[in-house]
Structure 1
Amino acid sequence: MTTPPPADPNIPPQQPQYQPGAQQPQPQPAAPLTVEQDISYSGWAYVLACLGWAAFIGPLIIWLVFRQRGQRVNHEGKEALNFGIVVAAATIIVNIVFGILTGVTGPRFDWVNGFSAGWGGWWIFPLLQWLIIVGIFVVALIWGLKGKSTVAAGGSYRYPFNIRFIK
C-alpha cells in the first residue's frame, strides 16, 4: 500500500468537489428534552402567557419549538397557549370598547368653536380601561406563576378559566 505524498504547507486545503448524484446527509432529529428541560420550558410557557395583547406569542414559540421533543411541553404548552389567546383577546376587546367609549364621550375639537369638553365624566373610561387591563395582567401573572410552580413540583396545571382552542 502506498502512502500519498505529504501535503504542501504552502497550498491551502481544497474543499471536496461536488459529485453528480451524491446525496446530502439528512438532518438528524433534535434530541428529546431532559426531564429538567421539559419542566423548565413548560413553566416558562405559563409565565409568558400574561403579556397582554401579545400573551400568546411566548407560549406559541415554546410549544412549536419543543412540542415534539417533550410530552410535558406539548401538554402544558397547549394549555398556556390557549390561555394566552384568551388574555390577548380580552385585552384587545377591552382596548377597542373603551377606545370607542372614550372617543364618543370625550373632548372634541372643531374649527368653529375650538376645544369643547364633551361629557364631563369622559375621563372615567380611560381609567376603567387601565384598571381592567392591569387586572387582567395581575390575574394572568398569578395564574401563570401558580402554573409554573405546579409544573415544577411535577404536576399538571389547568387554568381556572380557559377556552381550549387547541386540543
Structure 2
Amino acid sequence: MENQPYNNPVPPPVTSLSPSDERMWAMLAHLSALAGFIIPFGNIIGPVVIWQIQKDKSAYVDYHGKEAVNFQITMTIGYCISFLLFFLFIGVPILIVLGLIGLVLSIIAGVKANNGEYYKYPFTFRFIN
C-alpha cells in the first residue's frame, strides 16, 4: 500500500497571540458590548463573536470573553425585568441605572483588560465557566 499524504488528516496550525494582541482582543470583548446601545442584543453578540473567534488562541482572551458574555447576559436579564416593571413606573429608573452600570463597568473592564489585569464583574451570574 502506498502512503498517500492526501488521506492523512492534518491538524490545524496552533496559533497564539502576542501579549499586546491578547490585551487588545480582551479589551474589545468588553467594549464590543457597547454595540448594544445601537444594535438590539449587540451587547451580547459582540462579546460572543470575539470570544468564539479568539478563545482557542489565548487563555487570557478566553477568560475576559467569558466574563464579558456572562455580564452582558446578566444585564440583559436586568433589562427584561425593568421592561416588565415599566408598567409599574419603576422600570424607567431601573433601566437608566442598569444602562449606566453597564456602560461604566464595561469601560472599566476594557481598560483593566488592556492593562493586562484580570477583571471580574460584580453581581454577575456565571452562565459560562
1:158 maps to what in 2? Answer: 120
Q: Identity percentage over the alignment?
A: 26
The 5-angstrom pairing of residues 70-89 of structure 1 reads 70-89=58-77
Compared with structure 1, are the counterparts of its residues 69 and 22 closer, same or farther at alpha carbon in structure 2 (3 Å cutoff)? closer
1:31 maps to what in 2? Answer: 15
2:27 maps to what in 1? Answer: 43
Alignment match of 1:148 (pick from 107, 110, 113): 110
More helix by share: 2
Compared with structure 1, are the counterparts of its residues 31 and 95 closer, same or farther at alpha carbon in structure 2 (3 Å cutoff)? same
Aligned partners of 2:84 and 2:91 also within 8 Å: no
CA distance in 1, matches of 2:50, 2:122: 22
Q: CA deviation at 1:155?
A: 0.9
The normalised TM-score by structure 2 is: 0.79
Q: CA deviation at 1:136?
A: 1.0
Identify which range, 145-154 or 75-84, moves more after superposition: 145-154
Aligned partners of 1:38 and 1:72 also within 8 Å: yes
1:16-36 CA-partner distances (Å, limit 9, x unpaired): xxxxx8837857336212211
Aligned partners of 2:29 and 2:47 also within 8 Å: yes
The normalised TM-score by structure 1 is: 0.63
Q: Any unmatched runs of 5+ in structure 1?
A: 1-20, 103-124
Is it true that 1:68 corresponds to 2:52 in the alignment?
A: no
1:3 maps to what in 2? Answer: none
If you compute each CA radius of gyration, which structure gives the higher value, 1 or 2?
Answer: 1
Aligned partners of 2:75 and 2:102 also within 8 Å: yes
Q: CA deviation at 1:72?
A: 0.6
CA distance in 1, matches of 2:76, 2:99: 10
Q: CA deviation at 1:42?
A: 0.6
Q: CA deviation at 1:147?
A: 0.8
Equivalent residues, number: 121
1:106 maps to what in 2? Answer: none
1:6 maps to what in 2? Answer: none
Quick one: which amino acid aligns to residue 44 of structure 1? L
Aligned partners of 1:83 and 1:159 also within 8 Å: yes
Q: Any unmatched runs of 5+ in structure 2?
A: none
